[in-house]
Structure 1
Amino acid sequence: MSSIFSIAALLTGSALLLLAGGLHGLLLPLRGLSEGFSDSSLGLLGAGWAAGYMIGCLVVPVIVKRVGHTRSFGVLCSLAGITLLLNLLLMHPLAWIILRALSGFCFAGAAMIVESWLNERATSNTRGRIFGIYTMINLGATTVGQMLLTVGDPTGFVFFIIGSIIYSLALLPTALSTAASPAPLTQARLDPKKLWKNSPIAVVGIFLVGISNGAFGTLGAVYGRRIGLEVSDVAIMMSLALLSGALIQLPVGYASDRLDRRIVLIAMAMAAMALGFCLTLFGGINPVATIAMVAAFGGMIFSMQPVIVAHASDHAEPGEFLKTSGGLLLIYGIGTMVGPVAAAPLMTATSPSALFQITAAAHLTIIVFAVWRMTQRAAVDADERTDFVPSLATGRYNTPETSTMDPRYDEELEDQADSDDEAYHDPAVDEVRPEAPEADPDGLNADAGKKI
């Protein structure tokens, strides 16, 4: 409890940030539909968010290094609130796509800063508990943000103002905190060649899961409205999909720690395909049945990412967890850009259920590739696997800093691996030089302990 009390302000700021983000993310497609935006335009909102989010993960660490954590966090939260108000003032698809990219940038940076503070306060003994509490609080906040839309009309201006106010409130806990400034933010690094060598199924799988989750996360609300669901039903449907994705991770994690994770991934992809097929045939006939099927579908698709990360970690070298998870995060982000762009035109040309044709294509490819990979490489022994760790159900809000909070992250091993790669390794002769001095190439501890 003492660990929780010491980070209460940071958890509060994070919860408010995710509360506004959940409201913001569901409000835009619902309002866009009422304004007559095309499905393609709404799909590009998701692509814009993903692009901005990825850029934020790469650029914000540089900004924080120059002006500090507190100032950066305040600017990003304020800018996110301004962006939401501009969505209200500029009712045009092109303006919304640009603003959505800006929102993704701000959200990624703000989340990274909160997570870096939390990680600075965590110890090796408390990191797992703090990570679990942080995940559950953010999941609850996102759900509450979406459920707010059940109590009002998204065609007005109230929810835009409420969301902007919540973004502003999110900066107060950290602005008033006396906590020491943490180390510089972690930057994601993508090494496709090494990731592929480590685990081909992880690279292909995370990209395809990004396509599926990006399409559903962006256009799920559009599907709901197109088949005749009320706004309140759509909010409940998307919230239950998110919650089931968190709850199903418990049995999924238990199974993946005991079976070949690829078998678990195949089973989940098959279940998602079956549910998508049912939604294609029967979606919209009965609102309750449709919501139940979408909730089960969300449980499947939102639980795949942590299985893939765990599988990649099983094959990663000691000290490579941060590079592995960070690289997979960027590949996932690319997938979330592709998914809504591919699904939206198909929904316009055929029917709203075409959304599940795109997700089915992604899941079928996962199944085929995973089955083939099982013939090429044996499963890792159960006693040699890393532990499955649940993560935020959507995967949309993970950042490189999230990986440093993960219980599987070992700072000493990561630092040693970086030193071996950058200080000892000579690419010309590909040998180890024992006389090389110790180094801290990333400067991870350079600013630790400084007061704000």
Structure 2
Amino acid sequence: MVKSLLPLTALLMGSAFLLFAGGVNGLILPVRGEAEGFSAASLGLLGTGWALGYVAGCLRTPALVARVGHIRAFGAMCAIAAIAVLLSLIFLTPWFWIPLRALSGFCFAGAAMIVESWLNERSDAASRGRVFGVYTMVNLAATTAGQMVLTLGDTNGYFFFVLAAMVYCLALLPTAISATTTPRPLTQVSLNMKGLWKNSPIAVFAVLMVGISNAAFGTLAAVYAARSGLSLNEVALFASIPILAGAALQIPVGIASDRLDRRKVLIGITVFALIADALLFFSGAAQPMMVLAFSALFGATVFSMYPVIVAHANDHAEPGTYIQVSGGLLLVFGIGSIVGPTLAGFAMTLTGAASLFAVTGLAHIVLTLFAIWRLTTAPAVKEKDKVVFQASPLARASTPETAALGANQNELDADQQSDGLFENNTPKQEPEE
């Protein structure tokens, strides 16, 4: 295993730096914005801006890479992301932060796609699963470390903005000096709602609701925690513990979803998510440790839904469309991520911090009712038609290239031989100089 990973060290380092900087940037903005007196509505729009930029990056980066090459595009993405962070420090106003956050989302998505394309190219059939697993763990650890580093200094100064910018710049060095060969063109997915809905209505609807709830929490969790009286250390834990809990629960959830009807598993997870919504909604005066425990339950449920939904959609997908279905669902998740932070931000401004979990709870109620309706109107997938559950990184940090990297060799071969349900454009690749 070590032998197969050594040639990928530079790429994994670049990804780690990228996710670390993203973790710092993603948490310092709401924490500092709260200290500056920004409204919850304006802080929610930061998440909307990020999601808009991220979806645009997933759609536009393949053409950019085809025109200028992987190394130049990756360097430009990291440099612009660093500039966006520093401009956020210079202009301490939400009306500058929102477009800058969109720019960061675009660059982050583009840089992640390029790294994943490289990893996919360098992984053979025997090592792809191990590479994807290590890549997922590296990203999880880097994101968590980036969030937790905020506990080591003063968030009211300039240090963490400069740190995020520096680490974004560090992210481009491993690939810039690596002798790794230039990979194939990036996976480019066109959003085809009719085709996705025909493939699996519950997957489309569920991933939209999950996008709303997860993005609302990811953007405004720090605001809720701060307004609930938690210290800075506890705010960082409140943002990080759910991610770790969600990653841990994917293992038992995956086992259950491979053995049972995935829709029933999804309903069960969502019921526990509703319990967590209610606990956090009413926990304003609770002890910090209790609030953190509630956040762990929330994260364990909401961050384990996405891979179940993708697996259910791929159970119904025709051979040759697995990657396209996964990529299409990711874009639907992005649409939900645009809506969720805006709704939650305005709700928190009007009725208080606890309404964050009224918004997530409403999304989970609607998801549960739709899933129960589909359970009574559509038959379960036969065991022989099920794909193997694949644990995944956070959907908010995934791209169409993540789906390609996580696919097994049979799925990749089928995807290359079939036009499938969706348009899969692979632009002509310009050679690196």
Query: TM-score, length-normalised on structure 2?
Result: 0.97
Q: For 1:141-199, what per-residue CA distance to the aligned partner results, in whole angstroms no more than 9, with x for missing partners? A: 00000000111111110011111110010000000011111111111221111111110
2:293 paired residue number: 292
- Give the deviation of 1:299 after TM superposition: 1.0
1:372 paired residue number: 373
Q: How is 1:132-211 mapped onto 2 (pairs within 5 angstroms)?
A: 132-211=133-212
- Structure 2: which 5+ residue stretches go unaligned? none
SS of equivalent residue, structure 1 residue 156: coil
SS of equivalent residue, structure 2 residue 182: coil
1:219·1:344 contact (CA, 8 Å) conserved in 2?
Answer: yes
Task: Give, in whole Å, the separation in 1 of the partners of 2:41 and 2:404.
Answer: 36
SS of equivalent residue, structure 1 residue 257: helix
Alpha-carbon RMSD across the aligned residues, in angstroms, is 1.5
Larger CA deviation: 410-419 vs 371-380: 410-419
1:237 paired residue number: 238
2:144·2:240 contact (CA, 8 Å) conserved in 1?
Answer: yes
Which amino acid in 1 is paired with 2:59?
Answer: L
1:114 paired residue number: 115
1:396 paired residue number: 396
2:10·2:174 contact (CA, 8 Å) conserved in 1?
Answer: yes
1:223 paired residue number: 224
Q: For 1:11-63, what per-residue CA distance to the aligned partner results, in whole angstroms no more than 9, with x for missing partners? A: 00000000000110011000001111110000000000000000011111111
1:438 paired residue number: none
2:48·2:338 contact (CA, 8 Å) conserved in 1?
Answer: yes
* C-alpha distance 239-443 of structure 1, shift in aligned 2 (>3 A): closer
Q: For 1:290-349, what per-residue CA distance to the aligned partner results, in whole angstroms no more than 9, with x for missing partners? A: 011011101100110000000000000011111101110110000011001111111121
* C-alpha distance 419-304 of structure 1, shift in aligned 2 (>3 A): closer
Indicate whether 1:56 and 2:43 are aligned.
Answer: no
Larger CA deviation: 308-317 vs 404-413: 404-413
Q: For 1:215-243, what per-residue CA distance to the aligned partner results, in whole angstroms no more than 9, with x for missing partners? A: 10001111000111111101011111110
Task: Give, in whole Å, the separation in 1 of the partners of 2:177 and 2:8.
Answer: 13
Task: Give, in whole Å, the separation in 2 of the partners of 1:284 and 1:141.
Answer: 32
1:329·1:399 contact (CA, 8 Å) conserved in 2?
Answer: yes
Task: Give, in whole Å, the separation in 2 of the partners of 1:120 and 1:31.
Answer: 40
Task: Give, in whole Å, the separation in 2 of the partners of 1:371 and 1:233.
Answer: 37
SS of equivalent residue, structure 1 residue 146: helix
* C-alpha distance 418-89 of structure 1, shift in aligned 2 (>3 A): same
2:324 paired residue number: 323
1:82·1:164 contact (CA, 8 Å) conserved in 2?
Answer: yes
Task: Give, in whole Å, the separation in 2 of the partners of 1:118 and 1:284.
Answer: 47
2:190·2:422 contact (CA, 8 Å) conserved in 1?
Answer: no
Which amino acid in 1 is paired with 2:216?
Answer: A
2:27·2:222 contact (CA, 8 Å) conserved in 1?
Answer: yes
- Give the deviation of 1:420 after TM superposition: 9.9
Task: Give, in whole Å, the separation in 2 of the partners of 1:331 and 1:240.
Answer: 26
Task: Give, in whole Å, the separation in 1 of the partners of 2:422 and 2:129.
Answer: 28
Which amino acid in 2 is paired with 1:195?
Answer: L
Q: How is 1:29-68 mapped onto 2 (pairs within 5 angstroms)?
A: 29-68=30-69
Q: How is 1:275-424 mapped onto 2 (pairs within 5 angstroms)?
A: 275-392=276-393, 394-408=394-408, 410-418=411-419
- The number of aligned residues is 431
In our comparison, the structure showing a higher alpha carbon Rg is 1
Which amino acid in 2 is paired with 1:175?
Answer: A
1:284·1:290 contact (CA, 8 Å) conserved in 2?
Answer: no
Query: TM-score, length-normalised on structure 1?
Result: 0.93
- Structure 1: which 5+ residue stretches go unaligned? 423-440
Higher helix share: 2
Which amino acid in 2 is paired with 1:85?
Answer: L
Identity, in percent, stands at 52
1:386·1:408 contact (CA, 8 Å) conserved in 2?
Answer: no
